[in-house]
Amino acid sequence: MKGRKVNGWAARDSSGILSPYSFHLRKTGPEDVVFKVLYCGVDHTDLHQIRNEIHSTTYPLVPGHEVVGKVIEVGRDVKKFGVGDRVGVGCMVGSCGECARCKTNREQYCPNMVFTYNDIYKDGSFTQGGFSSAMVVHQNYVVNIPEQLAPEQAAPLLCAGVTAYSPLKQFIGSKKGIKAGILGLGGVGHMGVLIAKAMGHHVTVISSSNKKREEALTDLGADCFLVSSDSAEMKKFANSLDYILDTVPANHQLQDYIPLLDVEGKIFVVGAVPEPLQFSASGLILGRTSISGSFIGSIEETQEILDFWVEKGLKTMVEVVKMDYVNKAFERMEKNDVRYRFVVDVAGSNLE
Ligand SMILES: NC(=O)c1ccc[n+]([C@@H]2O[C@H](COP(=O)([O-])OP(=O)(O)OC[C@H]3O[C@@H](n4cnc5c(N)ncnc54)[C@H](OP(=O)(O)O)[C@@H]3O)[C@@H](O)[C@H]2O)c1
Ligand SMILES: [Zn+2]
Ligand SMILES: [Zn+2]
C-alpha cells in the first residue's frame, strides 16, 4: 500500500548519474518509524551500486545508506522512538528475526537480510535509500543518535564506522600491544585509523601514494605511513602487523600485503571489489595467515560505535555538500579526491 510521496535523487541507468525522482514510501506499519532525512553519507558502495558493479541494480535507484533523520511519525506499536527523536539507519532495513544469526545479534548475516536500497522489502515493495526527503523503517533497524553528536558527524558511522569497528572489536581487552594496518585511506579507512588508535593499537596506514602522509600522521594520529608501491619500505615492514583492514574498492594483489603480517596475522577484507581477489597459497600457509570478510555490523554494534565515538571524543572528517553536488562528489570519490567522507545535507537541499 502506498504511503507518503517523497522526493529523492535516483540513478536511472548504469551511467550512475543521479537526478530528481519522486516516489511513494510504503504505508506506515505499526512498528515503523518515519523520519525526515537530515544528512546522508556517500559510500563507495553507493558508487558500485549506481554503476551496477555489484548486486545487480534495479533502476531507478535512490542510493544512500548512512542516514540521519528526525522522526516525524511512529506506528502504534513503536516503543523505542518518538516524534522529534534523532535517529540513524545504515545498510539494512530488515531481516527474518528468527534464524540463529538474527537471534545472536548477527542479523547483518541473515539470509533474508533486506538492504536499505536495491532490495525487496517483506511487503514486496522496492527499497530506496537516504538520498530522499523521508524514509520509513521498521524500529528494529533504527538506532538512536546520541545528542552529543552532530548529525553530519554521525552519518558516516552508520556504515563506514561500524564496518571498521565490527572486525576490530575482537581486539578490545587484548593484553598484547596490537599492531594494526589500515589499507586504503578513504571513508572506511579513516574510520579504521581513528577506531584502532582509540583502541590503543599501533597504526600503520598503507596507502597507494604519498599524498595523504601528513594528514594521516597529524590529523588522524597514525603512527606510520607506508606507500604500497615502495617495495623497499614494504620489505622493512615485513612481519610487523597483527592485522590489516583492507578497504580497497578496486582489484589488488592480496599477496603483496600478506608478508606484512606477523605469524597468525589476519586480513579483514571489507572492500567490495567487483572482481575475484587472488593470493598465493604458500604466502598464506607459511604465515598461518587468515583472510576473512566482514559486512557492516549488527544493529547493536551500530549503536556501540555511536556511543564509542562520544566516549572517545572522536571526530569524523567530512565534507558536507548539497544534493546538486552529488554527481560531482561521486566523480571525486572515484578519483580518490575526498577527505574523507562526503555527507549530503539532504534537508538543506532542493530535491526537486
Ligand atoms: N564490507 C562492508 O560492509 C562495507 C561497508 C562499507 C564500504 N564497503 C566497501 O569498502 C570499500 C571502500 O569504501 P569507502 O567508502 O571507504 O571508499 P573510498 O572512500 O573511495 O576509499 C577507498 C580508498 O582505497 C584506496 N584505493 C586504492 N586503490 C584504489 C582505486 N583503484 N580506486 C579507488 N580507491 C583506491 C584509496 O586510499 P589511498 O589513497 O590510501 O590508497 C581510497 O581512498 C568499497 O568497496 C565499499 O563498497 C564495504
Ligand atoms: Zn534471520
Ligand atoms: Zn556502506
Assign residue 248 the CATH number of its domain. 3.40.50.720
pLDDT band at 95 (very low <50, low <70, confident <90, very high): very high
Say which ligand is closest to the CA of 155.
3
Q: How many CB atoms lie within 10 A of CB 166?
A: 22
Note whether residue 309 is domain-resident. no
Strand, coil or helix: 198: helix
Mark whether 153 and 41 lie in a shared domain. Answer: yes
pLDDT mean over 294-314: 97
74 alpha carbon to ligand 1 midpoint, in Å? Answer: 36
**Residue 302 Ramachandran class (φ > 0 left, ψ -120 to 50 alpha, else beta):** alpha
Residue having the nearest C-alpha atom to atom 4 of ligand 1: 270
206 alpha carbon to ligand 1 midpoint, in Å? Answer: 12
Mark whether 105 and 221 lie in a shared domain. Answer: no
In 3D space, the residue among 92, 131, 164 whose CA is nearest the CA of residue 321 turns out to be 131
C-alpha cell at 132: 530522499
Tell me what pLDDT residue 175 has. Answer: 84
In 3D space, the residue among 112, 117, 151, 150 whose CA is nearest the CA of residue 132 turns out to be 117
Note whether residue 306 is domain-resident. no
Please check whether residue 238 is in contact with residue 259, taking contact to mean a CB–CB distance below 8 angstroms.
Answer: yes
pLDDT mean over 294-300: 98
pLDDT mean over 320-335: 98
**Residue 76 Ramachandran class (φ > 0 left, ψ -120 to 50 alpha, else beta):** alpha
Mark whether 178 and 82 lie in a shared domain. Answer: no
Across the chain, which distance is largest between two alpha carbons, in Å? 63
- Tell me the C-alpha distance between 30 and 124, whole Å: 17
Tell the residue number behind the cell numbers 604500497, with chain if given. 228
Q: pLDDT at residue 1 above 70?
A: no
Q: How far is CA 338 from CA 44, 140, 343, in A?
A: 11, 32, 11
Is the shortest distance between the CB of 116 and ligand 1 below 6 Å?
A: no
Where do the H-state alpha helices sit in 62-203?
100-103, 151-154, 160-168, 187-198
C-alpha cell at 46: 553507493
Is the shortest distance between the CB of 247 and ligand 1 below 6 Å?
A: yes
Q: pLDDT at residue 172 above 70?
A: yes
Is the shortest distance between the CB of 88 and ligand 1 below 6 Å?
A: no
- Tell me the C-alpha distance between 88 and 211, whole Å: 33
- Tell me the C-alpha distance between 56 and 104, whole Å: 29
Tell me what pLDDT residue 252 has. Answer: 96
Query: For residue 26, what is the domain's CATH number?
Result: 3.90.180.10
Say which ligand is closest to the CA of 47.
1
Average pLDDT, the chain: 97
Q: How many CB atoms lie within 10 A of CB 118?
A: 23
Quote the number of domains for the chain: 2
Give the length of the chain.
352
pLDDT band at 194 (very low <50, low <70, confident <90, very high): very high
Residues with Cβ within 5 Å of ion ligand 3?
43, 45, 159
Residue having the nearest C-alpha atom to atom 22 of ligand 1: 186
Mark whether 71 and 190 lie in a shared domain. Answer: no
Is the shortest distance between the CB of 207 and ligand 1 below 6 Å?
A: yes
Note whether residue 298 is domain-resident. no
Note whether residue 312 is domain-resident. no
Q: pLDDT at residue 55 above 80?
A: no
Tell the residue number behind the cell numbers 622493512, with chain if given. 236
Q: Which domain holds residue 335?
A: 2-159+317-345
40 alpha carbon to ligand 3 midpoint, in Å? Answer: 11
Note whether residue 141 is domain-resident. yes
Note whether residue 182 is domain-resident. yes
pTM of the complete model = 0.97
186 alpha carbon to ligand 1 midpoint, in Å? Answer: 6
Mark whether 77 and 59 lie in a shared domain. Answer: yes
List, in order, residues 6 or more apart from 313 with CB less than 8 Å away.
Answer: none
Is the shortest distance between the CB of 185 and ligand 1 below 6 Å?
A: yes
pLDDT mean over 265-274: 96
274 alpha carbon to ligand 3 midpoint, in Å? Answer: 15
45 alpha carbon to ligand 3 midpoint, in Å? Answer: 5
Q: pLDDT at residue 9 above 90?
A: yes
Is the shortest distance between the CB of 249 and ligand 1 below 6 Å?
A: yes
Give strand pairing partners of 182.
205, 245
Say which ligand is closest to the CA of 249.
1
pLDDT band at 173 (very low <50, low <70, confident <90, very high): confident
Note whether residue 100 is domain-resident. yes
C-alpha cell at 100: 540463529
pLDDT mean over 153-169: 98
Percent of residues, the chain, with pLDDT higher than 90: 97
pLDDT mean over 229-233: 96
Q: Which atom of ligand 1 is nearest to the CA of 272?
A: 45
With the most atoms of ligand 1 within 8 angstroms of its CB, the residue from 191, 292, 302, 336 to mutate is 336
